[in-house]
Every structure is written in C-alpha cells, then in structure tokens.
Structure 1
Amino acid sequence: MTAAAPSRPGTRGLRLLAPVLLALLTLLGPTQPAAAHAELVSTTPSDGAALAEAPATLELRFNEPVGLIDGAIRLLAANADPTPLRATVTDATVIVELPELAADASHAVAYRVASADGHPVSGVVSFTVGDAAPGAAPSAASGTPAATELLVRVLSGLLYLGLLAFAGLVFATRLVLRGAGASSRSLLVAERWSLAVAGGAAVLLVPASGLRVVGAALAAVFDPGAWAPGVSWPVVAVAILVVVLGWSAHLLGGARTGGLAPRGGLAVGLAGAAAVSPALVGHTLAYNPPVMLVADAGHLLAGSFWFGGLLAMLLFLHSRPGRDEARAALVRFSRAALGAVALLAVTGTGMAVLVLGSFENLVGTPYGRLLLVKVMVVAAVVLLATWVRFRLLPTSRSLLRFFRALRYEAALLVAVALLTGFLANTSPSHGHLHGAQQVSVQSQGLAVEGSLAPSAVGTNTFSFTLLFDGAAVESGDVAVSFRLPEQDLGPVAAVVEPRPDGSWAATVDLPAAGEWEAQVAARVSKFERPIAVLKVTVG
C-alpha cells in the first residue's frame, strides 16, 4: 500500500517563507553598498594635513593586501575632470605618484581598490599646500550603485541555491537511494534545472562582480571594457568549474546510475568539486586562507548533502515508492544527515570565530546580525529534522506525514542557501569596533592627538601629532609603548617613524583584545622627557 503525495511539494511553504526572508534581508542587510572588508589604516600625507611643500607621492596603507583597479585612483579638481594617477601596490601599501601640484592650494585624491575578498573600498584623501585654507574635498562618485550591489547579491544567492541542490541530488542518488529512484525522470529534471540555475548565475557573476568593483551602473554590462578591469580570476575560475565539472557530473549519469559504481563514483567526485568551488571567492581569501578554505569546503559539502538530499527524498516520495522501500531510504538519509549537520556546526562555528573574532561583532555588525538570522533558521531545520529522525520515523507509517515534514525542512533550507549568498557579499567589516579610534591627551605639557587603526588584534598603526607647550616636537627621540594591565601584558614597544608633514606613525603588534594603555614619551630638552598616557580599546 502506498500513500499519495501532494502534487505541489513545498509550494505553499515557499510562498509563506519568501516575504519573511525578504523582510529580514531588508532590515538586517545594509541598504547602502556594503563596505569592503579592507580598511584604510593611515595615509602619508595624512588626511587633512597642512603641508609646507607639495608631496611627490601619496601613500595609502590598508589592514590587508589590496589590488589596483585601472584608472580608479584620480586627482580631483573643482572645475575640471579628474586626472587618473599612476600607482603601485605592495601587499597592503599603495604608492600613488602625484604630478606637480600648485602651491597655496587644496588638493584631493580619490582612490578605489579591491580587497582580498573581492569587495571594493574607496574614499578621498585631501590636504593643503602652502598658505591655503582647508576646504571641502571635491565630490567623487566612488561608491557602488545600489542596483549593481543588489544584482551581485541575488546572483550569489542563486549560485548557492542551484549548486547546493545539484550536488546534493547527485550525492543522495548514489549514497542514499542507491538506484531506488533511478527511474524517476523528475530527479533528472531537477538536476538539470538546478545546474542550469547555478551555471547561469556563476557566468553572470563575472560581469556583475566586475561592475561592482569598478563602481559602474548596470547599463554598463553591455560594455566589456567598462567591467573587465574589475574582474578577478577567482570569479572566472568558479564560473568555469561550476559549468565544466557540473555538466560533466550530470552527463556521467546523473540520476540514472545508482550505487558507487566507477561511473557513479566519478559523478559524485565531480559534483563535490563543483560544490566547493565558491570557496575560492569571498571572505575565505581574507582570513587565514588554508584554514578557511578547508572549513568553507566542508561547510559547502555538508550543506549540499543536506539540502539536495532533501530535494531528492521529496522527489523520490512523490514517485510513490513502496512503503518498505521508502522507509529504508528515509532511514539511510536521516542517519547521513546527522553527520552533515555535525559537520555544518563545526565548520560554521570555526568560520564565524575566524571572521568575526568576538561576540560584540556578532551582534554589532550587519554581517553578524545576518549570520544570526541564518543560525536561527538552521536551528529550526535541525529541530524539525531531529523530530523526523527520532519521533516520526520510528512511530509513523504514513508516507504523507514524512512528505510534509521534509518539504517544510527543504523550504527552510532554501532560505539558508539564499542567506548564504547574501552573507558572501556582506562585508564582515567591524565598523567602529575595528576602525580608526580617535584619542587625545595632555600631560606634563605634552599634547598628543591621533588615531589607532584598525583597533583590532594584530598589527596596528598609531598616527599622531605631538606638541609641547604649544610648539611641535621636532626631536627624533620619541618612544611609544603599549600595556594591557588586565592581562599583565607589556610593555610592547612600537616602531616610531616621523612623517614629512610633521606627524608621527607608530606601528605595533597587539596580541590581545582589551583596554590598552599607550605611553608616549618625547625628549624635548636635555633634561625634560614628558610622558603622556592614553587609553585605547582593541577589539
């Protein structure tokens, strides 16, 4: 005896879920273009500096390696078109060659570079030369148009949705159904359509991501010369891998070959390789790549088996199999799904720790809040799956109840896949927690004013000015050290260097988060060496 399944699996659940998901994305995802993960740490000359002579170069220092974009660093003028400038990059430092600048005038340079995770970062540095009053910097349209950013996020969501579904369908057909559903044409159709969605999204992401990096509008998508400078090799590699490996796996048998025969085993391997290809782009490249790459690959494989496996089981049950055959397949899938859930939990937690670093960043940044939404949806799926495995499966003989439970589980995992796509294109920038922190203090006649960036564990730059009794300190004998009293760390000595504009830069490696004390000492005469102490927060 068999139970008839509904003819439209999951449709109602998806209709109910879609508006809720869109509302959450609207509320929690930034409405403006996402800030890049890379952050500007300091510049020479510093922003807003008053210089006696025009500098020959502008130095931009970021907190991670960045890449140049053709024609994206420009000298701005109030009554003329921006002038593209030549620049070179070494790791996290960009050196911009400046032309001969007019004296007694204000100048501004607009920059736009690509961070390691593919997000663009832009801004303007202004300074004055000679006897010139500082004024507002000329405007530069250096942000990413909202429509372009939205397109990249939507395509990323479709890429994850299609790819996880396709790979999971292949996995479940070989490892769970073992030929039981091989005759179901619906499995073949589902494979083909999910792969078409993933491949189409991956290919379209090439020009779309290029448009985002260069900051161009959607209308420029028909002009390869406009978006080609912003295309990175990982995005192209993902498109090639998804299309070539995916279609190879499908053509090797797809749903038509059961078990782990050589042909079926190769299809599983190719589908798995295609599923992990998105790990080549996004935040994986910005945080300890070897560890993140392994964690991201495991996360994608586990998600593929869970999501695509659910779709396979729904299609299998829809084909009206025998009761014993259906229960045997459900038992195999539920056991394997538990392992996939465990792998998801371990890899997801590891990546969250590496990317966010603290609980404050989990609740205090758009990326962290969006991640919390994903965790809550996954928790709901886990509860539902646990109920099916340990309560429904041992006691119920109704295939219809299994079908309904699995379609709701699949609908929730659609939301997880879409959220994953949005997370991949939301910067985990830690905002004020990991940005430039302004500090100032006056002690023993010594006035210190400056900023610490990025105010995070690791390498930081303390950019500051020194005045003693109202006059600039010109002595080269300046020392800066840091202490963390609550952990009895320090003093940690900083490397101090003077800058051409009369300010100072101290580079230091801070090994822990907390309330640090920065001690600044300057030799102002043979017998005087005043000391000032500032407090800074490192996240």
Structure 2
Amino acid sequence: AAAALATTWSLANHSVTGQARGFAVPVDVVHLVAGSVWLGGLVALAMTHVPARDAVTLRVAVPRFSHTALVCVAVMAATGLFQAWRQVGSLPTLFATAYGRVLLAKVALVVVLVAFGAAARGWVARHYGAGGNRRRGGPDPYQLYAFYRRLLAETAVGAVVLGLSAALVAMEPARSAYTGRRSTAAPANTAAVPVVPEPVPFSAGSGPAARGAVLLEVFPPKVGPAQLHLSVLGPNGAPLNVPEVHAAMTLTGRDLGPIPVELQGAGGHYIGQMNLPFPGRWQAVLTVRTTETDQATVRVVVDVSA
C-alpha cells in the first residue's frame, strides 16, 4: 500500500519529465518509501513506544528500528544522488537557482538527521547491546527520557525536511531553470539597441514534438497595454502544434508575479493581451506541454521601458 501511494506521488512530480524517465519513477518510489519508513518509525517511537515505557517492547522495537533506519538512510542517499543529478546536473546550477538552494537546505538538514541517527545507534548499542542483546539491562528512566527528547528533536527536523521536499516538487527543476536563464541572458550594454527576438530552444521528453523552440515578442515593450506574440517552432523552424501552452510575466526586481497571460490561437502561434504596470527587466515564463506527461518551461527576458 505504501509503494502504491508513493507511485501516485511520483507520477505527479518531476520524475515523469526530463532525462531517464523510465528509471526515475521507480527510483523516486523507492526514495519515498525509504523516507516514509524512516520518518514514520521515528514518529511511532516518539509518540507511542517510548512514552509507554514498556521495557519488553522497547528491547525489540528500538534495536530493530535502528537497523532499519540505517538501511533506509543508505537507500535514500543513493536514490537522492540520482535525483539530484537529473534535476540539477552541475554545481553552478546548484548555487544559481532557487531549486538548487532549497535542495542544499534539505541536504543540510538530512545531514543533521543522519548525525542524530548515528548518535542514536550508539545509544542503542550501549543500552541494548548489538542487535538488541538481551543480556543488557536496558536504560533507566532518566536515560530513556533523554532518548525521548532526542527522538522529538529528530522528528521535528524530519518534518522540516518534508516541507522542503514538498516545496521542491512545486518548483521548476534547477537544470531547466538554469538553461533558460543562460539562453535568455542579454548583455548589460545593449539597453539602447533594438533587440531582435531569437528562438529559445526547449526539450521535453521524447516524440516528434519533444524538441523545438519558442519565439516571443511583446509589442509595444512599454508600460501599459501590450500584446504578447508567441510562436512555437519545430526543429526545422516551421510552426509546431502542441497540446497546450501557458504564459506568465514576472518582475523579480519588484517581487511581482507571476501574472498569467491568457493566450488565444492555435497551430503554433498565440497572442495574449496584458498590462505591464512597471518598467524593468521582465521575465516571460512559458510552459510548453508536448504530450500528456511531457512539458518544458522556458524563460525569456523582456525589457520594458517607461
């Protein structure tokens, strides 16, 4: 049942897009199940087993969970490295994107959890013996209370890790965000020179519409009412008909957006009406869906004057 629930989550997140999709979904399921067993076991110990102070139950449950947690951590580390490679790709991407920075925060907290776990394994070995050796007398009430407080702290950190994991699912992966930023970056000394729009490439999964480019133009590029013209092009430069296209405008300098732009059109060319309230370097966030499960996000810089 846990694996089935994890599969539904994996099929709704970034595992179904990008590189190595056929391998990414089962790896993500294993990662989720291992994390659930680890953190779920912490909750069980902290909320039921330890407060009950049943010496017989603790003598069996605590050493068994200690061993299980070690296996789960090893599995999570291996699968997490694979996922990081898929969604990040390189060290510059890790530090230059919001996704990468949130991932770093998650990894730092996981390291804290591993440190808690290592200390807990030492505690278990001292008080229950290796593998729950019954010749050990077990902890006294004061020692058990100290262990209980450590479990609560570990559970709290685990809850924060879950929150960061949920945030990562809702964010654009670092690899695609960094690629879009590099492909749309404009030199600082070209503000006064008319900019000729250039196609920005995208890649989403496999199939005839998996690769192409988007061509965006905002007219007029000034504060006030404007039109967004968007063309989706195939590898040969011809219009590409895709199932769905979304557009939104953001102005990071003022922490404004994303402002959705309703697009009208078909056959690879779309027009949207919008109103730009401020000048500055806006960013058009374009999401192109090529199949039922594949999509790519492209960011295009639009300089808006007063």
Measured against the shorter chain, the TM-score band is 0.5 to 0.7
Q: Please list the CA deviations of residues 499-522 of structure 1 after superposition, one character each: whole Å capped at 9, or x if unmatched.
A: 9xxxxxxxxxxxxxxxxxxxxxxx
Q: 1:453 to 1:311 in 2, by over 3 A?
A: same
- Please report how far the alpha carbon of residue 318 of structure 1 lies from its aligned counterpart in structure 2 after TM superposition: 0.9
Residues 411-450 of structure 1 correspond to what in structure 2 (within 5 A)?
A: 411-428=156-173, 430-431=176-177, 433-435=179-181, 436-437=183-184
What is residue 400 of structure 1 aligned with on the other side?
145
Instruction: Tell me how many residue pairs correspond in the alignment.
Output: 192
What is residue 282 of structure 1 aligned with on the other side?
13
Gaps of 5+ in 1: 1-269, 441-448, 464-494, 500-539
Amino acid at match of 2:100: G
**Conserved? CA contact 1:275–1:301, under 8 Å:** yes
Matched, 1:309 2:54: no
Matches of 2:184 and 2:120, distance apart in 1:
51
Amino acid at match of 2:145: L
What is residue 59 of structure 2 aligned with on the other side?
327
Matches of 1:359 and 1:454, distance apart in 2:
22
Q: 1:339 to 1:432 in 2, by over 3 A?
A: closer
**Conserved? CA contact 2:88–2:100, under 8 Å:** yes
Matches of 2:15 and 2:89, distance apart in 1:
15
* Other structure's SS at 1:427 match: coil
Q: 1:413 to 1:498 in 2, by over 3 A?
A: closer
Matches of 1:399 and 1:438, distance apart in 2:
58
Q: 1:386 to 1:438 in 2, by over 3 A?
A: closer
- Please report how far the alpha carbon of residue 277 of structure 1 lies from its aligned counterpart in structure 2 after TM superposition: 2.2
- Please report how far the alpha carbon of residue 350 of structure 1 lies from its aligned counterpart in structure 2 after TM superposition: 0.6
- Please report how far the alpha carbon of residue 379 of structure 1 lies from its aligned counterpart in structure 2 after TM superposition: 0.7
**Conserved? CA contact 1:439–1:451, under 8 Å:** no
- Please report how far the alpha carbon of residue 328 of structure 1 lies from its aligned counterpart in structure 2 after TM superposition: 2.7
- Say which one has the larger Rg: 1
Matched, 1:338 2:84: no
Matches of 1:365 and 1:286, distance apart in 2:
19
Matches of 1:365 and 1:375, distance apart in 2:
15
The 4+ residue runs of structure 1 with deviation greater than 4 A are 455-463, 495-499
**Conserved? CA contact 1:437–1:451, under 8 Å:** no
Q: 1:404 to 1:388 in 2, by over 3 A?
A: same
- Please report how far the alpha carbon of residue 290 of structure 1 lies from its aligned counterpart in structure 2 after TM superposition: 1.7
* Other structure's SS at 2:179 match: helix
What is residue 272 of structure 1 aligned with on the other side?
3
* Other structure's SS at 1:411 match: helix
* Other structure's SS at 1:281 match: coil
Q: Please list the CA deviations of residues 224-244 of structure 1 after superposition, one character each: whole Å capped at 9, or x if unmatched.
A: xxxxxxxxxxxxxxxxxxxxx
Q: 1:307 to 1:498 in 2, by over 3 A?
A: closer
What is residue 357 of structure 1 aligned with on the other side?
89
Matches of 1:454 and 1:341, distance apart in 2:
38
What is residue 105 of structure 2 aligned with on the other side?
373
Q: CA RMSD in A?
A: 3.2
Q: Please list the CA deviations of residues 121-149 of structure 1 after superposition, one character each: whole Å capped at 9, or x if unmatched.
A: xxxxxxxxxxxxxxxxxxxxxxxxxxxxx
Residues 56-135 of structure 1 correspond to what in structure 2 (within 5 A)?
A: none
Matched, 1:387 2:115: no
What is residue 27 of structure 2 aligned with on the other side?
295
* Other structure's SS at 1:405 match: helix
- Normalised to the residue count of structure 2, the TM-score between the two structures is 0.55
Q: Please list the CA deviations of residues 415-435 of structure 1 after superposition, one character each: whole Å capped at 9, or x if unmatched.
A: 111111111111125445334
**Conserved? CA contact 1:302–1:343, under 8 Å:** yes
Matched, 1:409 2:141: no
Residues 480-491 of structure 1 correspond to what in structure 2 (within 5 A)?
A: none
Q: Please list the CA deviations of residues 406-451 of structure 1 after superposition, one character each: whole Å capped at 9, or x if unmatched.
A: 11111111111111111111112544533434689xxxxxxxx764
Q: Which of the numbers 181, 184, 200 marks the counterpart of 1:453?
A: 200
**Conserved? CA contact 1:433–1:455, under 8 Å:** no
Matches of 1:431 and 1:296, distance apart in 2:
21
* Other structure's SS at 2:172 match: coil
**Conserved? CA contact 2:41–2:65, under 8 Å:** yes
Q: 1:399 to 1:327 in 2, by over 3 A?
A: farther
Q: Percent identity?
A: 29
Amino acid at match of 1:425: A
